[in-house]
Amino acid sequence: MTVWLNIHTEREIMPVLEVLARAKINLTLDITGLLPDGYHELETVMQSIALCDRLFFSLRPQGIEFQTDSPLVPAGPENLVYRAAELLQRVTGCRRGVHIFLSKNIPVAAGLGGGSADAAATLAALNQLWSLGLDRGELIDLGAKLGADVPFCLTGGTVLARGKGELLTPLKPLPPVGVVMVTPPLAVSTAQIYRAYDRLLPGVHPDTAAMVAAVERRDIPAVAARLGNILEPVTTALYPQVSAVKAALKAAGPLGVVMSGSGPTVFGLCRDEEEACRVAGRLDPGLGRILHTRFCDHALKLAVIDGSR
């Protein structure tokens, strides 16, 4: 059951643990086969960006109470935040309660891992708030039960992910490269895109090894030149608008352009955020939601705040 509370005026639920949950982009995304359980085997170089959701957690005697400021986000048991809290209760036997408020800033169903970032934030926050004592490996194992991107969203930075996304190899941190993103007004289903991929012949696989080498050299032009996503032709075939967005963004002058995840967000890399801001200013607002940000070397930031302010 969802209970609607005003987190800023309910003195009895203070103090509040605030978590910044970073979005992600895929510098490369490849499918290398099928796993025994039928899931796609992934190989992807993932990067945290400064764009984030804000979540606020406060203790309650019992129950999971969830509130969000976004009409696009379900505020009940179907939400990954709610499911993450339930999973922790089930696995650990903890019966303490929590009130969660989600301030949504990452575009929804956009290929930026917003839901996964929120789930990761919930696992990390409740591990602290409920004094569960789980280590990072245990949290990653739990995160993998919730979604392929959740393990990365618990660690962040620049990472090579394999398997379903849970096998993580940290790479050398990249500098604060600028990112400009365009999210057209489309809600793309990840499951739909993977089903469509299975019906089509494979496209051109990105060169993951070359991307990893470029990252390790911290060679930003080489990173931009090696962007690739095996799902992009699938998504653009179903949603031609994504191709138009990519063409417009490429014409605006970033170093390189590619779709993130299963889409529909398309991003371009720039030398810094100032350049990303200039590129964003050249784009037609009618393309969709246009944002600029930068690379970030971590996924989560937790802080105890005085929620009465």
Active site residue 141: no
- Which residue from 124, 239, 230 is spatially nearest to 189, judged by alpha carbons? 239
- E-assigned strands of 61-209? 64-68, 97-103, 158-163, 167-170, 178-183
Tell me the one-letter amino acid at 300: L
State how far the Cα of 182 lies from the Cα of 47, in Å rounded to an integer: 17
DSSP 162-188: EETTTEEEE-PPPP--EEEEEE-S---
Contact 267, 27 (CB under 8 A): no
Active site residue 24: yes
Contact 152, 80 (CB under 8 A): no
Contact 244, 199 (CB under 8 A): no
Q: Among the options 30, 53, 118, 149, which is catalytic?
A: 149
Local structure of residue 295 (DSSP, 8 states) = B
Chain-centre distance for alpha carbon 278 = 24
What are the two backbone dihedrals, phi and then psi, of residue 243, each rounded to the nearest 5 degrees? -65, -40
Contact 85, 126 (CB under 8 A): yes
State how far the Cα of 150 lies from the Cα of 141, in Å rounded to an integer: 10
Q: Among the options 24, 30, 104, 118, which is catalytic?
A: 24
Tokens linked to 118: 């929120």
Q: What angle do CA 24, 153, 181 make, to 5 degrees?
A: 10
Active site residues: 24, 149
